[in-house]
Structure 1
Amino acid sequence: MSERKLSEQMMLAAIVQCAKEAVISVNPEGKIIYLNKAAEDLFGWKAEEVIGKPMSIFASDARKQKKQFMEAIKKGGAQFETVRRARDGREIPVLMTVMPVKDEKGNLLFSSGIMVDIREQKKYEAKVEHLNEVLRAIRDVNQLITKERNEENLLQKACDILVKVKGYTGVCILYKGKSYTAGEEKECKKVLEFIKKEGAEKKEITSYKFDERYLVISPIIKNDIHAFLYVIRSKEFNEEEMGLLKEISGDIAFALDSIAKERELKEKEILLSHVFESVQDGISILETDLTIKYVNSTMEKWYEKNMPLVGQKCYEAYHNRNRPCDPCPSLRCIGSGRMERNIVPGLPGSRAEWIELFSYPMKDDSGNVTGVVEFVRDITARKEAENKLRESEMRFRSIFENATVGMYRTTPDGKILMANPFLVKLLGYESEEELKRRDLNEEGYYEPDYKREKFIKEIEKKGYFVGEQAWKRKDGSTIFVRESAVAVRDEDGKTLYYDG
């Protein structure tokens, strides 16, 4: 061998010896012929301890790994991930590059396995894979949240999803004094006992060393929602993982809060619906263009001939018109932003032929009118009573005005409220107004035996009076009359006036 070639080989040997990668060379029979310093450090063997020994002392699975090594030699070299065993029995993942060395005739001289320690890489890959599993769990929980609106089902299914993450041996959620669990029953039982004993409820996500395992407590808090997520793992939780679990807790808190608000809203809607349906008056909710959005059952009964009411304009459904009524209290309400009231005719032939309509504005946070609530009161009976009363008053007035006997209405304190023309003339006055200025208690009666006190005493006692009376005329003369009168009283029995 030339001096130059020898020098090159020595330099190459020095480079290999100082390389960071572990290098092990074997002869064609599989016996170790070389081990560099990096290989010694990685596997714990000294070169002199393994030279001449089979390569299998580094194998974790000798048959499989020998076959893998020989196939790489046949291919002229290859690179692959494998596992090699250290002197102390530890299995070390490595990236191995197999390089066969042959002579000029193609005969195999030796083969070298160049190995890079990939334990940190594997740890990182395992960490990334684990975090990806947690991310997939977040995705699955979020999909669950969009579909499940029952909080008990939501919490149990969330536990079932999380426990599928590799390494999680138990998952618990506590909410409203009830526990939801998934995973190893013993693990969950221990956690619940620990929580009961220690009161492990934290405001921030916290990690514990727990019975040879690790426990994370993550609060699920939003508004009135106070729950806690407990996750058990065989390995310690890292910051990224705890951040993801905190995110899951936040998502669950949002879902529980949303379900609670939906339930509260539904309860209010049911209550409001019951209130609407129990109100005997009609209720109609309109948009600003007078389109009907909602009616209660009273309106449906009154306007059953024009059903369905929702979607129609109010003037179409309630009045059989093709344009708004004039005047329209709801249009005034939309314009003024205040309550407006009016009495309007109802639909001819309907149960409510006359209605008293109260229109109240609905406003947004900025004070803009967004709709109208109409309270509709059936006053058909009142209108009929008013008409009958008016007719009765007209008949009474006709009788009163044309009677050939004197008729009056007076108060207990002597004021004349009404007097018909016959009585005005009988007492010698020019008009009813002139007669009304007379005080009966002071000058109503002339003869001592016919004092007004006697009249009041008897009518208050009996409720009526029948007998002779002496009235004083305008000119001072006395006229004797036969008088009949009744006391008209209120509900409490207090006398309002006397009709006679």
Structure 2
Amino acid sequence: MSEIEVDQELLLDQTNTQIFIFIDEQTYYIANKAHADFLGLDKSEFGNVSIYDIFTKDVADYFFKDNKKIFKIKEKIHTREWFKNSKGVSRLLSITKTPKLDSCNNVEYIICSAEDITEKNQSEKQKKKSEELFREITKNMVEMICLTDKNGNFVYAGPTYKSNLGYNPEHLIGKSVFNFVHPDDLDRIKSEFNSLLETLIPRKSEYRCLHADGHYLWLETYGNFIYDDIGNIKKIVFTGRDITKRKQLEQKLKNTYEIINNSLVVAFLWKNDEESGWPVEYVSNNVVDIFGYYVDDFNDDKLSYADIIHPDDIERVKSEVETYSENPDRFKFQHKPYRIITKNRNIRWVDDRTTIIRNDCGEITHYQGVILDITDRKMAEEKLMENKKMLDDTFESIQDGISVIDTDFNVIRANSKMGEWYKVNTPLEGKKCYQVYHNNDKPCDYCPTSRALKTGKTETNIVPGLPNSKIEWLEIYSYPMNDRYTGEILGVVEFVRDITEKTKTERQLEKYSTELKQINEELENRVQKQTEEIKNAERLRVLELHHRIKNNLQVISSLLNLQSEKFNDDTVNEAFRDTQNRVISMSLVHQKIYHTKGLESINIRDYIEDLVEHLISLYNGENILIKIDIQDAYFGIDTIIPLGMLINELVSNSLKYAYSEDEYGELNVIFYETEPGIYTLIVSDNGKGIPEDIDLDNPGSLGLQLIKSLVDQINGDFKLHGNNGTEFVINFSC
């Protein structure tokens, strides 16, 4: 830049940073294009104009108050405020106001720069850092890094403090960082530290730091925060590096580039010499902050601009320069984003605004540009694309149907499974869901999506498929989608499952269950009638009657056997066999009465042993070790029959369901009198057990219903234990 004067106004207009200058508390001196565009004005309207002519009174009062403060304290201030742009959209701006002092130390004017940090602010709120990982990373960092508490006391110092400042990191713990700041910088650094805590905005600071050998080095530090899980400040993290050489160079900078050096963009002036890689004749000092290079790195053609462009992008950049330079009327252009290689060999994406400089003959002599680091934005865009692809892949891989439907019942998106099921009506997107899915001209009466849009809750229903389709029944779950900020319902996601086969099976089982219930009722009525007839028989014929009852029950068992042969369904045949076993358990009672001398009671031990022996032979239980421990006790027929049916149900269930085929197990049947007139029956196995969530008060299976009924008949209660198998404990009085 030694011989070429750069147009300051062009430089200011090429940056996205809003730059504006006040010459007193309320008067604009100049504003760049970015500031004018934000407010929807022409930049020519800002010359010597009052802020009260530009802003509403509230906003103008805010600027007036800040400007008045700066003219008084003569120090830079930083604020973060929400402002509405020309479109009426609120944006968060980070505003830095720097007073320019004259030789008498009076404020001559105020330089203001404003950055739109809306997205950055949202991103920072989501950041969480792992302290353990942080400490591991710092071991390999060239820069100095430390953690302090809110008072500025060291709680951690990285190993590079030894190589940079000569201090043993362990000796710094508990000491105040302010003990090492140059006395002339101390008040300013304390003020900046307090401002960091007040604004919660990460910031850079530069100051002189005491080296262990007694001399001072210039450091550049960057302060940020580590938050806990609930958003409170946990620690303050500072990264720092030695900028002593850079500070020596900064003393030579020209005032012309003071504004640029306070912004987030890097200014370059390149000589029009593509073969030499566009030699750099000027670069703003903040290049070290953005890309890690010092200004001196580009002096004397040590580095050309082409040297720091990524090799994969250089040919495209050259082509764009050639294309834009061919038009003699063009004086500005913008590259597509390309990559810069930083000094530490990192890759940064950049966006630039380039001005073409021609001499009086129209020949291009230089290119002047400003470079903005857009790496964070680029990475966010790539992450968004990656997440979108993952969502798309997941959306299509699900084997159930999925539809996204808006509040007007339009199908916004449907996966391939829905397209397969409703191929006749494809494409599905853009059409009403009730038209393409149900051939209706209005929302369906049974529609769960319609209900979900009204209630804001998940709704479900089973609905018919399209006529003449192999899919007869569908189960639909409708999940409402809400705006994360307002809670407004935006639409519904439908998950659709083909349950045609499931529905057919359930209906067939329901039919079989009804038939079985009718058969059981018929048999129970027949047994009850015969039992009533036996009760009214003459006592002298009790033995004969019991004998006949036994025979009749055997006939019933045979009838059930014949009846079951008419059905091929295993579930129905199993129900018949269960009923046969219940009949046989009653038959054994009458057989015992017939063969015993006493007519009024039966020995429970003999009865249980015979009943269990019959069940073992019936269910082929050779692999099951049977342990029977029964006390002698005698019961009348009104007790022995329900007790026998209980034992039949419990032992049968263990033999049928507790073990897989050929699996060895153990079955215990225990009966004893706990106290006079109080008895306990225990039937247990070490098999698979039964579901823990079964509702004993409202059992669903016929077996459990029968067990509950039989326990009630003997005035008892029962408990069920499911650990390491199944154990029924029945207590009753007699």
Q: Which has the larger radius of gyration?
A: 1
**TM-score scaled to structure 2, two decimals?**
0.31
**TM-score scaled to structure 1, two decimals?**
0.44
Q: Which has the higher contact order (CA 8 A, sep 6+)?
A: 1
